[in-house]
Amino acid sequence: MIKLASIPTTAPDDVKEKDIRKETEDLVKQLGDLQERMYAERKHAVLVVLQGMDASGKDGAAHKVFDYCRITGLSYHAFKKPTEEEFAHDFLWRIHKVAPEKGMIGIFNRSHYEDILIQRVHGWIDEKRVEQRMRAINAFEETLVFDNNTHVFKFYMHTSKDEQEKQLLERMQEPEKYWKHNPGDWEERKFWDQYMEAYEYAINNSSIPWYICPVDQRWYRDYFISKTLVEALEKLHMKMPPLQDK
């Protein structure tokens, strides 16, 4: 049983930032090479879920980790409040239609888990609906894995409450970050404890395991995600296709 409060939000004490930054640069280049092979081979798909509290570094991670990937092999979706059309369908409708096809890495900034997080925290759905949606989420992810050879990587962006406050204040104090400021983020912060409970429920009841990624130090966040992806994708032994005779 995962308890988020017992897991550090910072890098291990025995790592050195300079060394990690250098290794991360090598890893993101390797990821770019692996993505190119995957795009050419068209046998696998990858779904990367970046889920976490406001200001936990989801956008930054997507930018840094996939810097060397070809844009033609990437899809990126940031899920916000559902539109009227999306509300008129089941909660997974807007998610399933943008799941990555074979050869693609799909990046979700927030995801289908929003529907058992914010809605649960604010009491917009009851516990029975939460349990039903959790079962549906597990079935959906398993379908991606077994029916489309999709490799699902779910990263919980594990930040401390103090670091979140620091990041939110920077959005109000630094002109280049003004555009990120959203007063609603401060309102959601008031429900921190409830969100932690909701995240723990989602993490502990998922069929496909989550990676708990420490993000208080952004340099370690990038290393953690890129290393996880590279190590997993290398095991697929992907190759560039041979020349085809027409």
Whether 229 has a pLDDT exceeding 90, the answer reads: yes
C-alpha span between 222 and 129 (Å, rounded): 35
The structural domains of the chain, ordered by start, are 15-233 (3.40.50.300)
Q: What band does 243 get if pLDDT is binned at 50, 70 and 90?
A: confident
In this predicted structure, what is the pLDDT of residue 244? 80
pLDDT digit string (tens) for 64-92?
A: 999 999 999 999 999 999 999 999 999 99
pLDDT at position 110, please?
A: 96
Q: What is the pTM of this model?
A: 0.96
Instruction: Name the pLDDT band for 246 (thresholds 50, 70, 90).
Output: low
For the chain, what percent of residues have pLDDT higher than 70?
100
Q: Determine contact, residues 196/5, Cβ cutoff 8 Å.
A: yes
Region 24-46 average pLDDT: 97
Q: CA geometry: angle at 193 spanning 189 and 198, to 5°?
A: 105
Question: In terms of Cα–Cα distance, which of 108, 106, 102, 107 is closest to 38?
Answer: 102
On average, the pLDDT of the chain sits at 96
The predicted model gives 47-59 an average pLDDT of: 97
**Per-residue model confidence (pLDDT) at position 131:** 98
Q: Is the pLDDT of residue 226 over 90?
A: yes
